[in-house]
Amino acid sequence: MPLYEFSHCPRCGGLLELKRPPTEHRERQICRDCSFIFYQGLKVAAGTLPVRDGRLVLIRRGVEPGIGLWSFPCGYIEKDETLEAGAVRETLEETHLEVRLTALLGAYSYPPALSDSRVAVLAYLAEVVGGELSPGDDATDANYFSYEEIPWKEIAFRSTLDAIRDWRAHPATPPSGPRPA
Ligand SMILES: [Zn+2]
C-alpha cells in the first residue's frame, strides 16, 4: 500500500498535491482548491488478551487481512469511544465474552517495510467475567489456548505474536506447565 493512497480532498473533492506546509518538516497532501491539509496518521486499534484459568482466548479471522488465521479479539476504535471501551466492545462482539481489563499489555506498531497495515495496536490483558465463548462478527472460530497450545504457524499478525509473547512474560501469567484440572 502506498503511503499516500488518496487523490482527492475529503472536504471539497479537489485534487490533492504533495507539498511541504511552511511550518512543517515533511510533505503533506494538500488540496489545490481549499488548502485542506490531509493529515494521515496510523489508525488505532485496540483489543484484549482474555484469560481464564491461565488459558488465552484467540479467534480465527473470517475476513482479510489474515483470513483463516488466529489473533486476539481486536478492532478499530471509533471516533467517539475510549481505547478501553473499544477493546471491551470488540471482545464482546468477536467472542461473546464479557471482560474486565487488568493491565495494558503492550502497544505495537511497525515500519512500513514490515507491515502494510498502517495501524497502532493496543493490547490489554483481561479477565473473563461473563458470557460463553463462541465466535461472533468477523470470527469463524474461537478457543482457549494454553501457551503450549498456541497455533504459532497460523498467527495472523506480527502484533499477535508480540502480544502473546508479552502475555507469557507478564508477571500476572502463571508459570508454564501442566496444572490441576
Ligand atoms: Zn479541498
User: How confident is the model over 121-136, as pLDDT tens digits?
Assistant: 999 999 999 999 999 9
Name residue 147's amino acid. Answer: Y
Q: How far, in Å, is the centroid of ligand 1 from the Cα of 33?
A: 5
Q: How far, in Å, is the centroid of ligand 1 from the Cα of 80?
A: 25
Q: How far, in Å, is the centroid of ligand 1 from the Cα of 13?
A: 6
Same structural domain for residues 18 and 68? no
Q: What is the maximum span of the chain, computed from C-alpha positions, in angstroms?
A: 68
Instruction: Determine how many CB atoms are found less than 10 A away from the CB of residue 36.
Output: 17
> Nearest CA to 73 among 55, 50, 53?
50
pLDDT digits (tens, 9 = 90+) for 6-35: 999 999 999 999 999 989 999 999 999 999
Q: How far, in Å, is the centroid of ligand 1 from the Cα of 38?
A: 9
Residue 179 has pLDDT above 80, yes or no: no
Would you say 9 and 38 are in contact if contact means Cβ atoms under 8 Å apart?
yes
Q: How far, in Å, is the centroid of ligand 1 from the Cα of 14?
A: 5
Name, in order, each residue with C-beta under 8 angstroms of 19's C-beta and a sequence gap of 6 or more.
Answer: 27, 28, 30
Tell me 85's DSSP state. Answer: H
Residue 1 has what pLDDT?
55
Domain count across the chain: 2
Residue 181 lies in a domain: no
Residue 174 has pLDDT above 80, yes or no: no
Same structural domain for residues 108 and 59? yes
- In terms of residue numbers, what domain contains 62? 43-169
Cis preceding-peptide flag for 65 (omega within 30 of 0): yes
